[in-house]
Chains A and B, each alone.
Chain A
Amino acid sequence: DQQVKQNSPSLSVQEGRISILNCDYTNSMFDYFLWYKKYPAEGPTFLISISSIKDKNEDGRFTVFLNKSAKHLSLHIVPSQPGDSAVYFCAASAYISGTYKYIFGTGTRLKVLA
């Protein structure tokens, strides 16, 4: 049972346009959501996050939107750049029994075309 789903395995976008990556979750206990970016042969790097008490968080070209009623979050990248080409993982987090627990989606491979 996948609690965090990224239904699009891949996405191609033209340079300068908007990239929208989507993520759905099933468990209401999650109270923090994160996006990670991963290049080949490297570990995931933290990109942006959002608390469940907010519906939007911006950091430069990156914005994360959270729709709690739909249990859906999305990452917007504007404008997209070739260096953004990577695999993006969303993760949902909760503090349970004295530990932070994280559940990851399966990832979306973004290709930004020059």
Chain B
Amino acid sequence: DAGITQSPRHKVTETGTPVTLRCHQTENHRYMYWYRQDPGHGLRLIHYSYGVKDTDKGEVSDGYSVSRSKTEDFLLTLESATSSQTSVYFCATVGQGYNEQFFGPGTRLTVL
């Protein structure tokens, strides 16, 4: 357990509105990730971070941006939400020298 919390846990929003999801960890893990989970697709990587202010794109990054100004926080922003971004979003971390990812509880986002 890497002490990962995600907020909010549930959110309903309208198309075109900006949305920010927060991931907070207490274990000082270096690597942080945002995934989305959709039926038939498993977990797909949106963005990841390998240190403060160091981020890069994953396989489904279009329409998303991230920021990491502190080790413990990794923010995912949908600049203008679309219905295709309705999904469950998971944050994950990896500690230096380890291989296992630890996941947060998820955020269920619905875009109407």
Which residues from chain A sit less than 8 Å from chain B, CB to CB?
A: 6, 32, 34, 36, 41-46, 49, 89, 91, 93, 98-102, 104-107
Encode B80-112 as 1/0 by CB contact (under 8 A) with A.
000000000010001000011111111000000
Indicate with 1 or 0, residue by residue over B40-62, a CB within 8 angstroms of chain A CB atoms: 11111100101000001000000
Q: Is the CB of B101 within 8 A of A46?
A: yes
In Å, the complex CA distance between A99 and B30 comes to 10
> How many B residues are at the interface, by size bracket?
20 to 34
In this complex, what residue of A is CB-closest to B106? Answer: A43
| CB pair B42 A104 closer than 8 Å | yes
Q: Is the interface of B mostly helix, strand, loop or mixed?
A: strand
Contacts of A102 in B (CB 8 A): 33, 45, 101
10 contacts between A and B (CB under 8 A): A36-B103, A45-B103, A46-B100, A46-B101, A49-B100, A89-B43, A99-B31, A99-B48, A100-B31, A106-B40
In the assembled complex, the Cα of A104 lies from the Cα of B38 at a distance in Å of 12
**Complexed CA–CA distance, A46 and B2 (Å):** 11
- What residues of chain B lie closer than 8 Å to A106, measured between beta carbons? 40-42
